[in-house]
Structure 1
Amino acid sequence: MDSSIVILLAQDGITNGAIYALLALALVMVFAVTRVIFIPLGQYVAYGALTLAALQGGKYPGTIWLLLLLGSIALLMDGWSAVREGRFADLGRSALGNLGVPALLAVLLTFFNPQNLPLPLQVILALMLVVPLGPLIYRVIFQPLAEATILTLLIVSVAIDFAMLGLGLLFFGPEAFRTPAFSDGSWTIGEVVISAQTLWVIGSSALSMGGLYYFFERTVYGKALRATALNRIGARLMGIPTELAGRLTFFVSAFVSTFAGILLAPITPISYDTGLLIGLKGFVAGILGGLGSYPLAAVGAIFVGLLEAFSSFWASDYKEVIVFTIIIPVLLWRSLFTHHVEEEE
């Protein structure tokens, strides 16, 4: 292995690690606020990429049907709660947020062909079709289970992952798709060729991480999420609604994961089952960070990307095994040297 190959593998590893870092940060955020180890984040990667590919191919994305279904269920649940508690004024806002926006998107997709739109508008439309699935899944599934144990929430999370996997096959078919690059062109540094899309991935990931830092450190809603993550009961006593914190967390995590899929689609073909492995690698990165530290999760993601890239060169048949095996010594170390606190405490 000469230096050019090392640099090429490092470039590939850092690019993939930037995607895994976004998923790891989203996973850590969701777990800190809601105690949910949200494995299906990888499915948002696939849904975002495939929805964008469907829009660019002039097809009606099946994501809209899932959005309408979950919105209808959320509206029924909010309506039942409003009737029982006498909060009829909330029904209009719930109808507009849960069902009005998805219905408007369905009408727009029916009468207007998004194939002819510029790429930035197609990306925004894809985000609007996929990102709302995050807070809707929280409202329909996880909010009623807010007091359940972490193990129960994990089992539900895995079930959602497999459900979204099957729906992805139904919506998009078994074929893999690639989308056009955000920018054409490349730069040659020595013997290494760096594509513009690679710079888009790394730069957008860095900006997203910076945006998340600003959100948590400088905004009221971000500070509310931090307070909820540190002490749910204390945040509730201070007037911070944990339901709102949960929905906001799932919204931000869905946005980050969907955007990661849109960034990845021009580099590698994405199929309905691609998100499963990507989500699990983001989970490995989150485990390396202890599911509690954003910087360590980002560093762990870069390490996972580099390990995957170099493993694909030395032992391509075992690269997935090597990546997933590294969590065993980490978990063993934390089991032996970390103080354990019972969940009831």
Structure 2
Amino acid sequence: MTWDVALILLTDGLANGAVYLLAGLGLVLVFSVTRVVFVPFGDIAAFAALTLAAFETGRLPPTIGLVAVLALLATLTESASLLRRGQWRSIPGAALAWGLLPLLPCALAWLAAGPGTPAWLHVALAVLLVLPIAPLLARVVFQPIADASVLVLLIVSLALHFLLSNLGLLFFGPEGSRTRALVDGALTLGAGFTVGGQVLLMLAAAGVLSGLFFLVFERTVAGKALRATAVNRVGARLVGIRPARTARLAYGCASLLAGLIGVLIAPVTTMYYDSGFIIGLKAFVAAIIGGLVSYPMTALGALAVGVLESFASFWSGALKDVIVFSLLIPVLMLRSWMSVHSEEDPEELEP
């Protein structure tokens, strides 16, 4: 391996790591607030990429139908919950919040579909269209079982991924799509080494969004409410923070990050209806490195996963995923060794 090849692999690895970084932040945010390992995160990213591809070909994005179905289910679920509690006067407000509000991006997409629409508007609408998906899924699936164990929530999340994957096949079809580059040109460094504009955009987006993520958590009331819920749900409820509301905010942020990931990776890889699963798995490896609680460690883990994947693809393209997922073994062993284990007292077990 020459230095030129190593630099190319390192650049590609950092670009992939930037994607895993954003996905890892979304996974850690949702888990810390709701205790849900949000497996469908990658599916939402794939839907955003396919939505952008549909816009570029002049077609009406099938995401509109998907969001409409989820909005109907969420409205029915919320209305049934209100009726059980005798709060039937709140049903119109619930219909507005869960039924009509998510359809606003659908209406904008329907108006903007077709030739002649600027590319930047297609990108914005692709992100807006997938923005309601995670909150709607959370209302229908996760909110009714919010107090279940982490294992139950994980099983439900896996089942939800398979459901979304099949819905993606139904709405988008089996064909793969790749979009045009968001940024043209390249940056030439020393010794004739060039970095593509799309790669630079991915790295810049990861850096900017990570900085905004930090500022929101440290400087805004909503960010502090998210942190409080993540630290202690009962304590947050005692001081007037509603965990259900912060959970919706967390899912909304996750949807936003997934949408941005989708439009960033769509120009560099062919996306299919089920392509998001592997993205979510590799981001989960990064989140595990961060212990599903630490954002800085998750970011470092994501960059490590991206670089390792890039060099592993050079050594053996068939085994690159095996090498990446094998990273979990030493990480889990190290965390087990560093964690404090408390053994049960035999006397306490006696009746």
- TM-score w.r.t. structure 2 length? 0.93
Shift of 1:309: 0.5
* 2:346 equivalent in structure 1: none
Describe the SS at the equivalent of 2:194.
Answer: strand
Amino acid at match of 2:121: L
Q: Which amino acid aligns with 2:53?
A: A
**Any idea what SS the aligned residue of 2:195 has?**
strand
**Alignment map for 1:123-272 (pairs within 5 Å):** 123-189=123-189, 190-272=191-273
Q: Is the 8 A contact 1:50 1:177 kept in 2?
A: yes
**Counterpart-to-counterpart distance in 1, 2:269 and 2:248:** 31
Structure 1 residue 310 displacement after superposition: 0.5
Separation in 2, partners of 1:253, 1:108: 22
Change (3 A) 1:291 1:162: same
Deviations 1:13-60 (A, max 9, x none): 000000000011111111110001111111111111001111121222
- CA offset digits 1:201-231 (Å, max 9, x no partner): 1001111111111111111011000000000
Q: Aligned in 2, Cα 1:97/1:330: closer, same or farther, shift over 3 Å?
A: same
Instruction: Name the amino acid aligned to 2:338.
Output: F
Aligned partner letter, 1:47? F
**Equivalence for 1:305:** 306
Deviation sequence 1:65-105 (CA, Å, 0-9, x none): 22111211211222223334344453333222222134444
Q: Which residue of 2 aligns with 1:81?
A: 81
Q: Is the 8 A contact 2:55 2:61 kept in 1?
A: yes
Alpha-carbon distance in structure 1 between the residues aligned to 2:127 and 2:341: 39
**Could you tell me how far 1:195 is from its partner in structure 2?**
1.0
Q: Quick one: which amino acid aligns to residue 134 of structure 2?
A: G
Pairwise CA distance, 1:314 = 1.2
1: CA distance between counterparts of 2:341 and 2:144?
A: 27
Q: Which amino acid aligns with 1:56?
A: E
Once residues 176 and 186 of structure 1 are traced to their aligned partners in structure 2, the CA distance between those partners, rounded to angstroms, is: 26
Contact 1:61 1:171 in 2 (8 A): no
Larger deviation, residues 329-338 vs 205-214: 329-338
Instruction: Specify the SS of the correspondent of 2:61.
Output: coil
The residue that corresponds to 1:98 in the other structure is: 98
Distance of aligned partners of 1:282 and 1:329 in 2 relative to their CA distance in 1, 3 Å threshold: same
Supply the distance in 2 between the matched residues of 1:243 and 1:273 (Cα, whole angstroms). Answer: 29
Distance 2:116 2:23 in 1: 31
Q: Deviations over 1:214-256 (max 9, x none)?
A: 1111110110000000000000111100100111000001111
CA distance in 1, matches of 2:305, 2:256: 22
- Provide the C-alpha distance between the structure 2 equivalents of 1:182 and 1:21, rounded to a whole number of angstroms: 20
Match of 1:181, as an amino acid? A
Report the secondary structure of 1:116's partner residue.
coil
Q: Any conservation in 1 of the 2:179–2:266 contact (CA below 8 Å)?
A: yes
Report the more deviating stretch, 21-30 or 89-98: 89-98
Q: How far does residue 179 in structure 1 lie from its aligned partner after superposition?
A: 1.1
User: Where does the alignment leave 5 or more consecutive residues of structure 1 unmatched?
Assistant: none
* Preserved contact between residue 64 and residue 102 of structure 1 (Cα < 8 Å): no
The farther-off stretch of 199-208 and 69-78 is: 69-78
Unaligned runs of 5+ in 2: 344-351
Moved over 4 A (4+): 104-112
Change (3 A) 1:280 1:81: same
AA aligned to 2:265 is L
Distance 2:168 2:84 in 1: 36
Superposed counterparts of 1:33-52, under 5 Å = 33-52=33-52
Q: Give the number of aligned pairs.
A: 342
Change (3 A) 1:251 1:107: closer
Greater shift in the superposed pair: 52-61 or 129-138:
52-61
Q: Distance in 1 between matches of 2:73 and 2:248?
A: 15
User: What corresponds to 1:56 in structure 2?
Assistant: 56
Structure 1: distance between partners of 2:244 and 2:261: 26
Relative to structure 1, the CA distance from residue 115 to residue 155 in structure 2 (aligned partners, 3 Å threshold; closer, same or farther) is: farther
Contact 1:308 1:323 in 2 (8 A): yes
Q: Distance in 1 between matches of 2:318 and 2:81?
A: 53
Structure 2 CA distance, aligned partners of 1:89 and 1:220? 30
What one-letter code is carried by the residue in structure 1 that aligns with 2:256? F
The structure that has the greater radius of gyration is 2
SS of residue paired to 2:45: helix
